Chain A
């Protein structure tokens, strides 16, 4: 029994998902579009992004420069055709958001303002104060409300994809408010479910960023690409992990060690605080290892000094930084420096797609952080991600709309397949009542293992340790229990499903990291400290199997830019 039926179903209501829905709705008002999200769209983690959205709009900028910055920032792992398309579409998206009401910050003449950002050779990061993600998300969300052919399912959690003969039929989803499992049929499906930072204990990510969407595609047979590349943002609050924007450095902030020296002169003297994130995170950890930071390597920090920026600039361009620091640390950035250390922030990897956001499963598309096109390669430049969500969200919406129109109405699928999936999920829920293991305990062990063994610096034996921990936890996961089995808004069931996804994603990350025996971008191995273009100028593809992820390699697409040594 099909509960609902759509032309295009989008999982995820963040910037990418909402942008896709609007693009599809504008393509044709006859398309039935659904957005299914496990939280209300305004809670999506896009909301926490602060710095800005990069686009080559200004006269002192050009597409080739933005492309080169991005490719170099990616340590030459980005697919260059993707980057070329991205830099050309980016300006249109920023203008489009202005037309939809995004309150971009302005220069005196009323035109869009820009700020400097890490790894960008000219100022091209468009900002909405220091709450760019918040404003972008709410603008997109409020804009999406006006289209009558977009329906939303708020607080529904997709438990599995229904794929028949490598073609999308629909999804099985848990309606959180009632606890019922329903089959939603669709012609095309877009995954816009965000990243997986929550597999780490210290992360800037919100509770919702568990990689559950990636796991859906992974289990259905779509490979995950470049999972070993996890970005650690240099300036997160110690212990808590929440973010102090790169914009603070863009506006002129300094990073200093305990001797009050701007230590980046030792590592990246030409760019200093405006270097790319992976280099700066490694610099901070190295300072801690060599005793020049505050505290030890695991919990220590350095200082982000913003005092010299002055009250006026801070209140106009970085008010959120002031708020966060005062609320969570009781520190006034106008008077004292802010303690910061690297925090797990962005998943460069994700569901493998081509330049048109298509996955190997027919009718399945992916965009935003959940996908790996690949735009960001081995390291993402700050402020490229918000634009990435817009460009590839729009692309997904357009491409899936055209595909849906090409599919005939009528007998969608073999409903027996959906029914059997619903039954096995129900059986799984039942089994939880008789388990013995605690979900929070397993989750805590996983996150700790990832933090300690799969962080900024990696090596073979600690990665292997992480892998064996994950395998042990997967075994324990088969025996988890829940205390309350009533179905209305059952957070235990939700946490259990999310934990299952996190374990699989973590396994893909670690296995990919073990097999990439080189250092590139954000993936640095002490036992293989150099980049190895001969063997590894390729993306890793992790395929799901019952014995664990099977890794194969896909060469990077090169067009104009020959890989060079990444020097700043």
Chain B
């Protein structure tokens, strides 16, 4: 005799309607798909990072290695691939700014500023900082 209800069944062992393929949940709708693309886009950034690291290594390992590296970079297939990586990297940055209005909503006179505007302001800020950094680098090079 107890005054607590018995755990009827361990609910995790209850029947679940089987999903045809649980690995493909992200194909169910447009938003799931764009979420996966957003997450995958970090690969673009990662690949550029790896290329930079290789470049730094190669810069200190002699003329011949460096020429090999340059030839590889000039390869048209690689350039085509770079366009895709660049697209992913840009997607990564653009979607990152989607977070800005979500975590820090801004209100002016009680009305919330539209998410699109906040996102746009984030992009403009990003572009501005990029231009400034590029300018500094090019001045000193």
Contact = CB atoms under 8 A, between A and B. Distances in A.
Give yes or no for direct A-B contact (beta carbon below 8 Å).
yes
A149 to B, nearest CB: 9
B3 A34 contact: yes
A5 B8 CA distance: 17
A41 to B, nearest CB: 15
Interface in A149-199: 151-153, 175, 177-178
A151 B1 contact: no
B3 A175 contact: no
B3 A6 contact: yes
B8 A178 contact: yes
B139 interface: no
Given A175-B8, A177-B8, A32 B1 contact: no
Contacts of A34: 3
A417 interface: no
A347 B27 CA distance: 51
A2 interface: yes
B5 A153 contact: yes
B13 interface: no
Interface string B1-20: 11111001000000000000
Interface string A121-135: 000000000000000
Contact of B3 (A151, A177, A178): A151
A561 interface: no
Interface string A1-27: 011111000000000000000000000
A2 B1 CA distance: 7
B6 to A, nearest CB: 9
Most chain A beta-carbon contacts within 10 A, residue among B1, B2, B5? B5
B4 A5 contact: no
Contacts of B5: 4, 151-153
Interface residues on A, range: 10 to 19
A152 B4 CA distance: 8
A2 B3 CA distance: 10
Contacts of B3: 4-6, 32, 34, 151
A4 B8 contact: no
Interface residues of B, number: 6
Q: Helix, strand, loop or mixed for chain A's interface?
A: strand
A451 B34 CA distance: 53
Contacts of B4: 4, 151
Nearest to A175: B8
Contacts of B2: 4-5
Nearest to A180: B8
A4 B4 CA distance: 7
Contacts of B8: 175, 177-178
A3 to B, nearest CB: 8
Nearest to A412: B1
Interface in B1-58: 1-5, 8
A151 B7 CA distance: 12
A563 to B, nearest CB: 48
A48 to B, nearest CB: 28
Interface in A103-156: 151-153
Contacts of A3: 1
Contacts of A32: 3
B84 to A, nearest CB: 45
B118 to A, nearest CB: 23
A151 B5 CA distance: 8
Contacts of B1: 2-5
A486 B8 CA distance: 17
A256 to B, nearest CB: 34
Contacts of A151: 3-5
A248 to B, nearest CB: 25
Contacts of A175: 8
Contacts of A6: 3
B127 to A, nearest CB: 37
A178 B2 CA distance: 18
A504 B57 CA distance: 89
A258 to B, nearest CB: 40
A177 B7 CA distance: 11
A34 B4 CA distance: 9
A6 B3 CA distance: 6
A4 B5 CA distance: 7
A118 to B, nearest CB: 32
Nearest to B11: A177
Nearest to B5: A153
Contacts of A5: 1-3
A450 B35 CA distance: 54
Nearest to A1: B1
Interface string A202-237: 000000000000000000000000000000000000
B66 to A, nearest CB: 66
A349 to B, nearest CB: 33
Most chain B beta-carbon contacts within 10 A, residue among A4, A5, A32, A153? A4
A4 B1 CA distance: 6
Contacts of A153: 5
A181 B60 CA distance: 82
A246 to B, nearest CB: 29
B20 to A, nearest CB: 25
Contacts of A152: 5
A144 to B, nearest CB: 16
Contacts of A2: 1
Interface string A41-72: 00000000000000000000000000000000
A152 B3 CA distance: 10
B11 to A, nearest CB: 10
21 contacts: A2-B1, A3-B1, A4-B1, A4-B2, A4-B3, A4-B4, A4-B5, A5-B1, A5-B2, A5-B3, A6-B3, A32-B3, A34-B3, A151-B3, A151-B4, A151-B5, A152-B5, A153-B5, A175-B8, A177-B8, A178-B8
Given A5-B2, A151-B4, A175-B8, 4 more contacts: A2-B1, A4-B1, A5-B3, A153-B5
Interface of B: 1-5, 8
Interface of A: 2-6, 32, 34, 151-153, 175, 177-178
Listed from nearest, the 9 A-B pairs whose CB atoms lie closest are A32-B3, A2-B1, A153-B5, A151-B4, A5-B1, A177-B8, A5-B3, A4-B3, A6-B3
